Every structure is written in structure tokens, then in C-alpha cells.
Amino acid sequence: MSIRTSIILVVSLFMVAGYVFFVQVGQSPEIPDEPPWFYNINIEDMSKIHIIDRGEEVMFFLGEDNHWHLDDPEGLPVGLDKWGGINLLLSGPKSRRLLDTQPTDLEPYGLATPLSRIEVDLKGGWSIPILLGLPTPDEVGIYAQVEGFPQVFIIVAEWADILTRLTRERPYPSWYYDIDPSTINRIAVYASDKSMGLTESGGGWHFDDEFQSPVDKVKLDEILASLEQPAEQDLVEYEVSEAGLAEYGLQESSMASMALFLQTEYVRRDGLNVTGQVVFHIGDATEDGTGYYMQTEKDRLFPDVFRVNASWVEGIQSILDNPPHVDDLAQES
């Protein structure tokens, strides 16, 4: 007698207009060749992703530009280097196994009051609410459930970790300025007619000149304050080619452009020492005078052009206009 090895459990979440997705449930005493799907949907059908983990939450929206955005359909676009295959991961993980088809108690799985919830909204108004519970005893897997359906699955813990981590490590675009001034150990500002560099070494700051002239401490504090995160940052245009940069005063020959180089160094939570370098190019002021166009070399071949508030750029300009030299009276004393 042949043994039926598996059946397909058709799970319909808010079945409207014939939209269905499938949850495959293995019910055979034999071990299937492939683990069952926890759920499975098309990437193209996703419109919103809402992740909650231990009180922290983040939302992503598919904008009209067909890019994913943070917090709002017209908010910051996600950084492709950090976003990677997030929507592919959310299209449906294969489970490690179907653990329980009719659990009488969800508490042992951490699913009675789950700490994590991932909700994927689909075009047309449908939604897939995913609940994540406790890790398995070997910590390789995690208990999971589609809200509204009894089946408890074990899925790979790394899948859940990658997604829930987005609540703490948001995938900002690569041009987004979120540098902590306390991590900066080198500053250089370049303009068409002058430049200036400052470096921290041995616990103190000096100019990058042949004498390594000391830096005024009060003025340095003002400079670092000016390097706090800009009050406004927003996308102007995706992936602008070299030919298109003239519109923003960002072409190499522009006399109006200015560049800011920053080097940072900090110790991560895992004890690893991290050093980073980035160059921001500052172009023309916007037509309304409220901001300036910028680009960063940290981006890909054709970087995006973004805008920051004018007062932030004016603070960078003041570094060149008022170098933090120690005045003669202070040096003599």
C-alpha cells in the first residue's frame, strides 16, 4: 500500500478576490526530501512590512518609485547595500519542520505572548501576520506561527534574527549622515581656493601642517558640534551620472563645490575596532535657499543626490573661514 507523503494545507488569509497563499504541511511519518514551507508569497505582491521586536518597531513601504522606504511611502529610501535580499527572505522561508498541527498550549513555544511579530501587507489589502516565539533548545531554530492558524513550525533562527535586527539597525541609504562626532579622529575640508585638515593623535588635536600646530579646544568643540547630524536629509534624485551632476553644482569642475572628509574609529559591541572614511561633496544651494545638494563617495558608481539643510553646510563652511588656531596670547601663556 502506498503511503501519502505530504499534503498541501491551503491557508487563506482574508481570502478576497481569489488571492491565496500556501502553507505546506508534512503529515507523513516518513521524512520528506524537502522541509515544508512556513508560508510562500510573491515578492511583487508586497507593499508594506511592519516588524516589532521587544518593544522596538520599524516599518517599510514600497513607494511609487518602486523603491522601499523607511517609515513612510515617501520617507528615506532603504540602502541597497543593507537591504539586500530582505524582501526575498520575507517571500517565505522553508521551515526546519512542522512541529505541532494542533497545539493545546502555546506557552512552551513562546507563542502565547510572542516577543516578535512581522506583518507583511500585500497589494489588494491582504496581510500575513507572523509570530515568532522562543528559540529551540539548540538555539538553531525558533518557534513560529502564522497568526490565526494553529500550526507551529520551527524555522531557522538566523532568518528571524536578520529581520528583527532591522528594528535596531535600520538600513539607511549609504549617503545618510548619521556619524557620531565623538568617533571622528580626522577632519578635512576642501574648497576651490583653500583647504584645512585636523587630526587627533595622542589624545590631542593638531593641524595637518608641517608643524602639527595645536588646535584650540573651545573652537574644536564648536567644530564637532557643527558635525552633528543635519536636521534635514532627503533624497533629490537616484543614481545621477557624471553628466547630470552639473544641475546640482556637483561636477568636478564646479567652483562652487566643497568637500568634507571624515575618518572615524570606534569599538563595536563585540570588541572589534572599526575604522571608516567617507567624503561628502557639497554643491549648489537649492533654488529656495533652504538647503544644499550633496553626494557621497561611499555610494556606488552613480551615487544618489540628496539635500541637507543650509545651516548645516554653513557650519562646515565656517570651519574653513575660521580655522581653530590657538591665538598668540594663549600660546604665550
Residue 77 lies in a domain: yes
pTM given for the model: 0.78
Q: How far apart are CA 156 and CA 96, in angstroms?
A: 7
Residue 125 lies in a domain: yes
- Whether residues 264 and 302 share a domain: the answer is yes
pLDDT band at 59 (very low <50, low <70, confident <90, very high): very high
pLDDT band at 272 (very low <50, low <70, confident <90, very high): confident
- Whether residues 275 and 189 share a domain: the answer is yes
- Whether residues 159 and 91 share a domain: the answer is yes
Q: What is the structure's pLDDT at 28?
A: 42
- Whether residues 156 and 103 share a domain: the answer is yes
Q: Which of 141, 167, 193 is the last residue of a domain?
A: 167
Residue 174 lies in a domain: no
Is 60 exceeded by the pLDDT of residue 232? yes
Q: What is the structure's pLDDT at 22?
A: 34
Q: What is the mean pLDDT of the chain?
A: 84
CB burial readout 73-101, b (16+ within 10 A) else e = eebbbbbeeebeebbeebbbbebbebbbe
Residue 36 lies in a domain: yes
Q: What is the structure's pLDDT at 248?
A: 94
Q: What is the structure's pLDDT at 255?
A: 57
Grid cell in block for residue 206: 593638531
Q: Which of 108, 133, 167 is the last residue of a domain?
A: 167
Residue 302 lies in a domain: yes
- Whether residues 195 and 241 share a domain: the answer is yes
- Domain extent for 197: 181-332
Comparing 36 with 132, which gets the higher pLDDT? 132
Give the CA count within 13 Å in the CB-facing half-sphere of 109: 23
- Whether residues 199 and 130 share a domain: the answer is no
Q: Looking at the 3D structure of the chain, how many domains does it have?
A: 2
- Whether residues 262 and 233 share a domain: the answer is yes
> Which DSSP helix (H) or strand (E) runs through 82?
helix 80-83
Q: Which of 132, 167, 202 is the last residue of a domain?
A: 167
- Whether residues 29 and 160 share a domain: the answer is yes
With 0-12 CB in 10 A as exposed, 13-18 as middle and 19+ as buried, what is 304? buried
Residue 197 lies in a domain: yes
Residue 172 lies in a domain: no
CB burial readout 235-266, b (16+ within 10 A) else e = bbeeebeeeebeebbbeeebeebbbbbbbbee
- Whether residues 140 and 18 share a domain: the answer is yes
What's the whole-number mean pLDDT along residues 134-161?
92
- Whether residues 150 and 94 share a domain: the answer is yes
Beta strands in the chain (DSSP E): 7-11, 21-25, 46-53, 56-62, 68-70, 97-100, 116-122, 127-135, 141-146, 152-156, 184-190, 195-201, 204-207, 233-237, 258-267, 273-285, 291-296, 305-309
- Whether residues 321 and 247 share a domain: the answer is yes
Judged by average pLDDT, the poorest of 30-34, 282-286, 289-293 is: 30-34
Q: How far apart are CA 141 and CA 154, in angstroms?
A: 6
- Whether residues 206 and 305 share a domain: the answer is yes
Residue 13 lies in a domain: yes
